C-alpha cells in the first residue's frame, strides 16, 4: 500500500466490500469520477458542510445541556417523564458528540485518524445513541398512556424509571453490536468498512430492514397508537373527584399542553430520520446507487433532530422559558414562578 494512503472510515451505507475488491482504484463511488483525495474535494462544499454541521453541534450542545440543567434544578419537574426527557437529551448529546463530528471529519480530511479501535467504537455509539432516542420516546408514550388512561393507579416510581432506562440502554446496545462487530480495516487505502458474513449483501439488506422495522416503524407505531388513545381520552374525559370547574379546566389544559409537547417531539424525530432511513434501505437493497450529495443532505437533516427538542420544551413549557431567563438574568427572575409552567 502506498504511503500516501491513510485510514478511512466510511458510513455504513456508502461502501461494500465487494466493490473494493472489484475496483481498488475507486474505494467507494461517492465523489464524481471516483476522486477521493482531500485535494480533489470541492473546498466550497467542505466549507458549507463544516458550517452546517457546526451549527448543529453548537445548538444541540447548548440546548440539551440546558434541558438537563432545568429538569435537574427544578424539583417540581422531577418525575419519571422528566427522567426520560433527560435520557433523551443525553442520547441527543451522544449523537452530537459521537456521530456528527466523525462524519464531518471523515469527509473533510478524507482520512480516518482515530485508529482501529475507534472505528468499531464510533460505529457502535452512532447506532446506540439513535436507538436509545427512539426507545426512550416509546417509554415516554407508554408512561403518558398509563397516567391518562389509569389516573387512579400509582405512577411508575423513579426507581422503576431508572430500571427502564437501563433496559433501554441494554436493548440499544444489543441492537448496535452487529454494526460494531462486523467492521474491519482493509489494506486498500486502509479502509474501515463493514464486513458482514457471507452472503454479505443479503446480511446487510436484512440487518438494515430489521433495524428500520424494529427500531423505527414499530416504535413509531406504538407511540402513535398510545398518543391517539391518550388524546381521545384526554379531550373527552369529564371531571372526576372533588375539584372545582376552574381546577379541572386548568389541570386538563396542562395535560393537553404536555401531550402536545411530547407528540411534537415524536413528530420531529420521525420526520428528521425518515429520509435517511429510506436512503439506507434503498442503498442496502441495491435499488439505488450511493450519492454523496443526497447522503449528506439526509444525514444533516437527521442530525438536526438533536437541536429541536430544547426549543419545543421552551415553547410549550413555562418552566424552561423561566429557567432560561434566570440563566441570563438571575437577579431579575423570581424563583417563585418556576412552578407556573407545564408540568411533566
Do the Cβ atoms of 192 and 184 come closer than 8 Å?
A: yes
pLDDT for 158 beyond 70: yes
* pLDDT of residue 87 exceeding 90: yes
Higher-pLDDT residue of 96, 193: 96
Contacts of 154 (CB under 8 A, 6+ apart): none
Question: Which percentage of the chain shows pLDDT scores above 90?
Answer: 17
Give the model's pLDDT for residue 185.
54
- pLDDT for the residue numbered 251: 65
Tens-digit pLDDT profile for residues 262-300: 889 899 999 999 999 999 888 888 888 888 888 889 999
pLDDT (0 to 100) of residue 194: 63
Listing DSSP states for 61-119 in one string gives HHHHHHHHHHHHH-GGG-SHHHHHHHHHHHHHHHHHHHTHHHHHHHHHHSS--SHHHHH
Q: Which of 210, 215, 181 is nearest to 284 (CA)?
A: 210
Span of 53-57, 72-76, 173-177, 337-341 with lowest mean pLDDT:
337-341
From CA 101, how far away is CA 189, in angstroms rounded? 21
Q: How confident is the model at residue 116 (pLDDT cuts 50, 70, 90)?
A: confident
Does the pLDDT value for residue 46 go beyond 90? no
Average of per-residue pLDDT values in the chain: 75
Q: Looking up cell 443479503, which residue turns up? A: 202
Question: What pLDDT does residue 183 have?
Answer: 65
Over 60: is that where the pLDDT of 186 sits?
no
The pLDDT of residue 195 is: 62
Overall average pLDDT of the 112-133 stretch: 83
182: which DSSP letter? Answer: S
- Who's near 219: CB < 8 A, 6+ residues apart? 134, 135, 137, 138
Confidence class of residue 147 from pLDDT cuts 50, 70 and 90?
Answer: confident
Residue 338, pLDDT above cutoff 80: no
pTM: 0.72
Q: What is the mean pLDDT of residues 209-238?
A: 82
Residue pair 84/223 in contact by the 8 Å Cβ criterion = no
CATH topology classification for 8-340: Rhopdopsin 7-helix transmembrane proteins (1.20.1070)
Burial of residue 198 (number of CB atoms within 10 Å: 0-12, 13-18, 19+): exposed
Domain boundary assignment for the chain: 8-340
The pLDDT score that the predictor gives to residue 330 is 60
Q: How confident is the model at residue 60 (pLDDT cuts 50, 70, 90)?
A: very high
- The 8 Å CB, 24+ separation contacts for 97-102 are 97/61, 98/122, 98/125, 98/126, 98/129, 99/125, 99/126, 99/129, 99/130, 99/303, 100/53, 100/56, 100/57, 100/303, 101/53, 101/57, 102/9, 102/126
Amino acid at each position: 500500500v502506498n504511503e500516501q494512503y491513510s485510514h478511512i472510515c466510511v458510513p455504513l451505507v456508502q461502501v461494500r466490500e465487494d466493490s473494493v475488491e472489484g475496483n481498488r482504484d475507486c474505494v467507494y463511488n461517492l465523489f464524481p469520477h471516483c476522486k477521493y483525495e482531500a485535494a480533489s474535494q470541492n473546498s466550497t462544499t467542505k466549507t458549507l458542510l463544516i458550517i452546517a454541521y457546526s451549527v448543529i453541534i453548537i445548538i444541540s450542545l447548548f440546548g440539551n445541556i440546558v434541558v438537563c440543567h432545568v429538569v435537574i434544578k427544578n424539583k417540581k419537574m422531577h418525575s419519571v417523564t422528566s427522567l426520560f426527557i433527560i435520557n433523551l437529551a443525553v442520547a441527543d448529546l451522544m449523537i452530537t458528540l459521537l456521530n456528527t463530528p466523525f462524519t464531518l471529519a471523515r469527509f473533510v480530511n478524507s482520512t480516518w485518524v482515530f485508529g482501529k479501535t475507534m472505528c468499531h467504537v464510533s460505529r457502535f455509539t452512532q447506532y446506540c445513541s439513535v436507538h436509545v432516542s427512539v426507545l426512550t420516546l416509546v417509554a415516554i408514550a407508554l408512561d403518558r398512556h398509563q397516567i391518562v388512561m389509569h389516573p387512579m393507579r400509582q405512577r411508575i416510581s423513579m426507581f422503576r424509571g431508572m430500571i427502564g432506562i437501563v433496559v433501554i440502554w441494554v436493548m440499544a446496545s444489543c441492537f448496535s453490536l452487529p454494526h460494531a462487530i462486523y467492521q474491519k480495516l482493509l489494506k486498500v487505502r486502509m479502509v474501515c468498512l463493514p464486513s458482514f458474513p457471507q452472503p454479505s449483501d443479503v446480511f446487510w439488506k436484512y440487518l438494515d430492514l430489521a433495524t428500520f422495522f424494529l427500531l423505527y416503524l414499530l416504535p413509531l407505531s406504538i407511540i402513535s397508537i398510545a398518543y391517539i388513545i391518550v388524546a381521545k381520552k384526554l379531550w373527552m374525559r369529564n371531571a372526576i373527584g372533588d375539584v372545582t370547574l376552574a381546577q379541572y379546566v386548568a389541570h386538563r389544559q396542562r395535560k393537553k399542553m404536555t401531550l402536545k409537547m411530547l407528540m411534537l417531539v415524536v413528530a420531529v424525530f420521525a420526520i428528521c430520520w425518515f429520509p435517511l432511513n429510506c436512503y439506507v434501505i434503498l442503498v442496502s437493497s441495491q435499488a439505488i446507487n450511493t450519492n454523496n450529495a443526497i447522503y449528506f443532505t439526509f444525514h444533516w437533516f437527521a442530525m438536526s433532530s438533536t437541536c429541536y427538542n430544547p426549543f419545543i420544551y421552551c415553547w410549550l413549557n413555562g418552566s424552561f422559558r423561566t429557567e432560561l431567563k434566570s440563566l441570563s438574568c438571575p437577579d431579575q427572575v423570581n424563583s417563585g414562578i418556576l412552578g407556573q409552567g407545564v408540568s411533566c
